[in-house]
């Protein structure tokens, strides 16, 4: 019987001699993942080094063979760094690519590396090692984003900005308070990612294909060498678990939600209608037709890319929802999704951090003008009456009539003479004008977590050591 050379045949194959023919070329391309899972090369080498070391310690191979395997793997690492390791479709995936090259370097000894493991637990290990690193990188990017927000907040503690509900003017705020809301959101993002990281950091290596191995391996040893905090307790679960991929994508989706919400606000703020910020030339583009335009491309792109991350989350959920235990080839579809979620999240976090660091300048004079020209102090008129023992609902209705009157006359509450205030209710005195001044309206919000300057200063003090 002759065996064809190819991915699934011949002496260079990863498959057994049960196969007599190589794959159809189109199926070979369809089946191969080397085009994208080469991303996991360093993690595959790390896992293989730990596995080879463990095999030697457990006397499944000699100590000398273990060292030779490790030296061969490090040679491949050096080749990759020099750009000389470029496996093609015939390797199928990064795991076969490494093993084939190891056999080329070491001869029959290279064939011993796969003792006691399967690609099923190998790929699960590689993916977790890679994702663990990426979570740490995203955490660092979130920290940079928080710091950029915080610097603006420190600068603008006493700058006022209109607060909105339903995109209608509601109550004035400290701009620092508004920005610190996003610092809080990013803080929760970091907490979520650390929680996901704990579940990512569990080692499947040693589960083999699905049932474990009869060889006397030491799973704890490889887990310790690779920095894992624990072992999967069930070999079936170890090779078929992709919960961590979904969890990470869900956490990344919330990161993108928060970036997108801020992006939407920046887009509003940069418009001529709002004019709360100026875009610098460092982070804005122009129009090919209209020379006066300065476009907020960064927040628009972030807002658009959010959908990509959401889509990958939905794709992962759909991919795993009907899979029986244990490993299925469908799992090949998790990598490109995860790779893009990480890349998109990191790119967007970096872009938004740069936008905050160099791309926008707040316009305090315009913000001050905005909060002084509306009825966002109406609630404070009601609170003024409540302090004089008027029931809130009664005060609420009275102020509603007062606002209607001012709108009909084209004036603001501050323009109403004191005698007209007293006609509405005898409890009004001269100090009503101080009570409804925008800066006093903000300063008066002294409940814990409120926008009052003293409370916002406490928020700044709480975050300062965290972000140092």
| Pairwise CA distance, residues 193 & 190, whole Å | 5
Residues marked as catalytic: 166, 287
Name residue 168's beta-bridge partners: 165
Domain with CATH 1.20.200.10 in the chain: 120-369
pLDDT single digits (tens) 308-366: 999 999 999 999 999 999 999 999 999 999 999 999 999 999 999 999 999 999 999 99
- The closest of 411, 312, 290, 303 to 351, measured between CA atoms, is 303
Domain with CATH 1.10.40.30 in the chain: 372-467
Please count the CA atoms within 13 angstroms of the CA of 260 that sit on its side-chain side: 16
pLDDT single digits (tens) 69-83: 999 999 999 999 999
Looking only at Cα atoms, what is the longest distance across the chain? 109
Asked if residues 413 and 434 have their Cβ atoms less than 8 Å apart, the reply is no
H helices, E strands: number in the chain: 19, 6
| Pairwise CA distance, residues 174 & 178, whole Å | 7
Pair of tokens at residue 314: 């939905």
> Mutual orientation of helices 297-320 and 333-354 as an angle, nearest 10°?
160
Handedness of CA 166, 172, 178, 184 (dihedral sign): negative
Q: Examine the pLDDT at 291 and tell me if it is beyond 80.
A: no
Residue 462: exposure state from Cβ atoms within 10 A (0-12, 13-18, ≥19): exposed
Query: Residue 8: which pLDDT band, with cuts at 50, 70 and 90?
Result: very low
Report the Cα 124 to chain-centroid distance in Å. Answer: 21
Residue 359 is given by DSSP the state I
pLDDT single digits (tens) 138-166: 999 999 999 999 999 999 999 999 999 99
Domain with CATH 1.10.275.10 in the chain: 32-115
| Pairwise CA distance, residues 99 & 134, whole Å | 25
Name residue 203's beta-bridge partners: 231
| Pairwise CA distance, residues 162 & 451, whole Å | 12
Q: Examine the pLDDT at 2 and tell me if it is beyond 60.
A: no
Whether the predicted model's global pTM rises above the 0.85 cut: yes
Place of tokens 């015939």: 90
Residues 6+ apart with CB under 8 A from 80: 41, 42
CATH 3.30.360.10 fits 32-115, yes or no: no
- What are the Cα distances from residue 335, in Å, to 67, 140, 174, 246, 466? 31, 22, 44, 12, 34
Radius of gyration over alpha carbons of the chain, in Å? 31
pLDDT single digits (tens) 389-432: 999 999 999 999 999 999 999 999 999 999 999 999 999 999 99
CATH 1.10.40.30 fits 372-467, yes or no: yes
Q: Percentage of the chain surpassing pLDDT 70? A: 96
Asked if residues 68 and 49 have their Cβ atoms less than 8 Å apart, the reply is no
- How does 355-370 read in b/e, with b if 16+ C-beta sit within 10 Å? bbbebbebbbeebbeb
**Is 114 in a helix, a strand, or coil?**
coil
What's residue 5's pLDDT? 37
Given the candidates 1.20.200.10, 3.30.530.20, 3.40.710.10, 3.30.300.30, the CATH classification of the domain at 120-369 is: 1.20.200.10
- The closest of 374, 448, 309, 350 to 160, measured between CA atoms, is 374
């Amino acid at each position: 019987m002759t065996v064809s050379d190819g991915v699934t045949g011949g002496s260079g194959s990863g498959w057994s001699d049960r196969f007599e023919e190589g794959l159809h070329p189109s199926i070979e391309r369809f089946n191969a993942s080397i085009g994208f899972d080469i991303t996991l090369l360093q993690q595959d080498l790390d896992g293989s080094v730990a596995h080879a070391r463990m095999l030697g310690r457990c006397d499944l191979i000699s100590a000398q063979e273990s060292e030779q395997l490790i030296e061969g793997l490090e040679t491949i690492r050096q080749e990759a760094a020099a750009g000389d390791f470029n496996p093609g479709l015939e390797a199928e995936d990064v795991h076969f690519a490494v093993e084939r090259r190891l056999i080329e370097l070491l001869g029959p000894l290279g064939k011993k590396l796969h003792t006691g493991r399967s690609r099923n637990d190998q790929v699960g290990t590689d993916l977790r090692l890679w994702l663990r690193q990426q979570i740490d990188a995203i955490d660092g990017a979130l920290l940079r984003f928080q710091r950029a927000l915080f610097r603006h907040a420190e600068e603008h503690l006493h700058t006022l900005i209109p607060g909105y509900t339903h995109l209608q003017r509601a109550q004035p705020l400290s701009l620092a308070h508004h920005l610190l809301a996003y610092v809080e959101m990013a803080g929760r993002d970091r907490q979520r990612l650390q929680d996901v990281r704990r579940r990512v950091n569990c080692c499947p290596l040693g589960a083999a294909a699905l049932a474990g191995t009869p060889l006397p391996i030491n799973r704890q040893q490889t887990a310790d060498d690779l920095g894992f905090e624990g072992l999967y307790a069930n070999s079936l679960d170890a090779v078929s678990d992709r919960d961590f991929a979904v969890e990470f994508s869900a956490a990344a989706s919330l990161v993108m939600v928060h970036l997108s919400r801020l992006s939407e606000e920046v887009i509003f703020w940069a418009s001529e209608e709002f004019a709360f910020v100026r875009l610098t030339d460092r982070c804005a583009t122009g129009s090919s037709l209209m020379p006066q335009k300065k476009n907020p491309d960064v927040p628009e792109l972030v807002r658009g890319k959010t959908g990509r991350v959401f889509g990958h989350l939905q794709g992962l959920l759909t991919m795993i929802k009907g899979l029986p235990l244990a490993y299925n080839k469908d799992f090949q579809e998790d990598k490109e999704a995860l790779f893009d979620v990480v890349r998109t999240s990191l790119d967007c976090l970096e872009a938004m951090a740069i936008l905050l660091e160099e791309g926008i300048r707040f316009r305090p004079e315009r913000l001050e003008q905005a909060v002084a020209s509306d009825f966002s102090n109406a609630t404070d008129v009601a609170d003024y009456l409540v302090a004089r023992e008027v029931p809130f609902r009664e005060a609420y209705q009275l102020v509603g009539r007062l606002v209607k009157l001012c709108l009909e006359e084209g004036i603001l509450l501050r323009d109403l003479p004191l005698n007209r205030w007293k006609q509405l209710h005898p409890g009004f005195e001269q100090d009503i004008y101080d009570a409804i001044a925008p800066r006093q309206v903000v300063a008066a919000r002294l409940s814990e977590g409120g926008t009052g300057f003293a409370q916002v200063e406490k928020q700044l003090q709480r975050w300062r050591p965290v972000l140092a």
